[in-house]
């Protein structure tokens, strides 16, 4: 590290900056210590010129999805991934959980336009119980379904990409037909989930493994929008958070409370 700090070589400095960005922000390892996943070392040391051509947003999201899967195991107590991205998503959609920001001036982002929250002085188990109670009491009207504006998919077309987010062995399904209300449409029963080639969910997060075909996944992303595109014209536009009559029955059947 001392050699990096004292280096005047632009390539060394760029590599060090990206290492820091990846290990402390985008691809955080729950063990801490600024470690970085081995799959990313190629980008840092063997293909520096190609870094700017990577879809880092989708890679970050795929890695976060993987970490959410690992964290869902009962024995796991910490979480990796880009938690800044996860918090921004939570604050955007659920205003009740936005932290109170007394210094906010003017019209900032939705995440910044926060109202006083009841969690500032409450810690530990008491705070956890209150968060769970507030989550259970949420209604559809309490959710900001389109926090980034109406028809955001027109500004960011790959919002309606459907398939896999893939980067090396990070391959995670991305299925926007399961979040139609976030796109301004009536939620219906979605297509079945993509079945992985291999799935292992052991009690330990170290043994968590979900594998999809990297080749097929990568091709799906590159073929967009000719294929792998959610056809919004086949759905019903909605001005409020609406869902089809049979959707809730389906939801509670597969996800009982």
pLDDT digits over 54-80, tens only?
778 888 898 899 888 888 887 778 888
Task: Decide: 67 and 79 in contact? Cβ < 8 Å.
Answer: yes
Question: In which band, very low, low, confident or very high, does the pLDDT at 172 lie, cut at 50, 70 and 90?
Answer: confident
Least confident of 22-36, 112-126, 227-241: 112-126
Is pLDDT of 146 > 50?
Answer: yes
Predicted confidence at residue 182, as pLDDT, reads 93
Predicted confidence at residue 233, as pLDDT, reads 93
Least confident of 40-44, 79-83, 204-208: 40-44
Predicted confidence at residue 4, as pLDDT, reads 57
Predicted confidence at residue 116, as pLDDT, reads 46
Predicted confidence at residue 149, as pLDDT, reads 87
Predicted confidence at residue 244, as pLDDT, reads 93
Per-residue pLDDT reduced to its tens digit, 213-255 = 766 666 777 888 888 899 999 999 987 889 998 999 999 888 8
């Amino acid at each position: 590290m001392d050699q990096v700090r004292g280096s005047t070589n632009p390539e060394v400095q760029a590599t060090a900056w990206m290492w820091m960005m990846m290990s402390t922000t985008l691809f955080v390892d729950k063990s801490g210590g600024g470690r970085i996943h081995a799959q990313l070392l190629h980008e840092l040391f063997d293909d520096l010129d190609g870094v700017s051509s990577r879809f880092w947003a989708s890679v970050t999201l795929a890695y976060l999805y993987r970490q959410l899967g690992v964290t869902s195991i009962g024995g796991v107590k910490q979480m990796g991934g880009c938690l800044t991205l996860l918090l921004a998503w939570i604050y955007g959609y659920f205003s009740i959980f936005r932290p109170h920001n007394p210094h906010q001036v003017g019209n900032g982002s939705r995440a910044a336009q926060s109202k006083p929250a009841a969690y500032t002085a409450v810690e530990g188990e008491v705070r956890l119980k209150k968060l769970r109670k507030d989550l259970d009491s949420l209604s559809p009207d309490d959710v900001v379904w389109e926090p980034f504006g109406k028809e955001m998919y027109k500004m960011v077309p790959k919002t309606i990409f459907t398939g896999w987010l893939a980067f090396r062995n990070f391959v995670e399904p991305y299925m926007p037909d399961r979040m139609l209300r976030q796109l301004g449409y009536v939620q219906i029963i979605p297509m079945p989930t993509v079945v992985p080639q291999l799935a292992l969910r052991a009690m330990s997060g170290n043994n968590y493994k979900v594998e999809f075909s990297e080749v097929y996944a990568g091709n799906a992303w590159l073929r967009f929008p000719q294929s792998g595109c959610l056809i919004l014209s086949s759905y019903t536009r909605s001005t409020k958070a609406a869902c089809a009559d049979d959707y809730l029955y389906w939801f509670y059947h597969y996800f009982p409370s």
